[in-house]
């Protein structure tokens, strides 16, 4: 059996169960497909996970459940509605709350 030098110095390690489970959760949360080829190798899966974590941090601009609950209470008291775009951006929700509280 012959091995290439790179296989001896950098062996290909399979992904761990923990990595695979975390990657599946990230894929579901980010609404992306987890490529089968990425699951085969530990370092490749680790790089994919790192990229998805960064994407999540930047793209998750939705308001928190506490913000939404507070805004809904304000809307009920004022007998008004919260604009739909406020449910997509936490900054807009915050501005709406500030504008509608005394």
Whose CA is closest to 49, among 59, 60, 62, 39? 39
Q: Is the pLDDT of residue 66 over 60?
A: yes
Q: pLDDT of 74-89, one tens digit each?
A: 999 999 999 999 998 8
Q: Cα–Cα distance between 84 and 2 in angstroms, integer?
A: 63
Least confident of 3-7, 41-45, 46-50, 94-98: 3-7
What gap in Å lies between CA 14 and CA 45, rounded to an integer?
Answer: 9
Q: Of 30 and 42, which is predicted with more confidence? A: 42
Q: In whole angstroms, what separates CA 36 from the centre of its chain? A: 20
Residue 54 pLDDT: 83
pLDDT of 3 > 70? The answer is no
Is the pTM here over 0.85, yes or no? no
- How high does pLDDT run on average in the chain? 85
Task: Return the H-helix or E-strand segment holding 7.
Answer: helix 5-9
């Amino acid at each position: 059996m012959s091995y290439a030098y790179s296989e001896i110095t950098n062996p290909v390690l399979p992904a761990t169960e923990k990595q695979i489970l975390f990657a599946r959760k990230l894929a579901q949360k980010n609404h992306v497909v987890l490529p089968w080829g990425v699951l085969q190798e530990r370092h490749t899966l680790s790089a994919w996970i790192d990229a998805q974590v960064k994407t999540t941090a930047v793209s998750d601009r939705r308001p928190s459940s506490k913000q939404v609950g507070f805004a809904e209470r304000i809307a009920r008291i004022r007998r008004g509605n919260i604009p739909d775009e406020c449910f997509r951006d936490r900054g807009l929700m915050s501005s709406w709350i500030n504008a509608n509280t005394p």
